[in-house]
Amino acid sequence: MSTQSCIPTATEFRNLWLQDLFKDQLKLIVDTFTFERTHTVRFSTDNVLTKMEREDDDKMTFTVFAEGFDNNYEIYSATFYNTSAVSYSPTTIYLGSKADDDVITTFYNKDNLDRIHLLKRDGYQFIECHLDYPFKEEQLFQQMTRFPVPEIDYMEYFFKTSQYVLGGSSDFWIYSFHCGWISGNINETNKENMVQSIQESIDGLIREEQIRLQAE
């Protein structure tokens, strides 16, 4: 099966589908923001709030919310780390307990790609699976007898999208991606409108950052 035929859909491997859907936005964040200063910047449109929060000197988190009357609901978040932060952490895919393809969070470390860890929630604990990368067919077959390993093409697609997001950045080596529960409302029909609405808020967020920098 070719990688092209294994592009995730809105109902299958949702986390990977959302990473692909918003990959240009994530790359724009990587290309715009740096670790030079620590602060929080936010921007709100009529129905979308975007927030960039720098935490210490080694990581910053970008979060997108759908604004409601009484609360804000997370659509997705991505945390970016610099080269000195958690450099030992492996590239990891976290699977939920609902189904084999229930990806909760992904963690990509471009300086630690010789192995990929798969963690699946089992009650209040996680069961683990460790795979060498590039993948080895014999090892995969062995692990499939005890662990719901996603198809190779899906995991390769995750690597491809993550490599695109981080690109040639010298500031960011690691990032994690998490889709909020309200992202379940995004589907093939409304995805373009959702991307556009979020992009408008991101454009405002970047303008706020540029104004702040010019004022310093």
CA proximity to 147, closest of 128, 124, 162: 128
d(CA 29, CA 57): 17
Q: How many CB atoms lie within 10 A of CB 60?
A: 24
Extents of the domains making up the chain: 10-215
Q: Mean pLDDT over all residues of the chain?
A: 86
Contact call for residues 118 and 149 (beta carbons, < 8 A) = yes
Residue 139 has which token pair? 């090892």
Who's near 196: CB < 8 A, 6+ residues apart? none
Q: What is the pTM of this model?
A: 0.88
Residue 29, classed as helix, strand or coil, is: helix
In tens digits, the chain (216 residues) has pLDDT values of: 334 456 677 777 788 889 999 999 999 999 988 776 657 889 999 899 999 998 777 889 999 999 987 899 999 999 998 865 555 678 999 887 765 556 788 999 988 889 999 998 887 888 999 999 999 999 999 999 989 888 888 889 899 999 999 988 888 889 999 999 889 899 999 999 999 999 999 999 999 988 887 887
pLDDT 10s digits, 38-94: 578 899 998 999 999 987 778 899 999 999 878 999 999 999 988 655 556 789 998
For residue 164, what are the CA distances in angstroms to 22, 24, 96, 157, 208?
Answer: 11, 9, 25, 11, 26
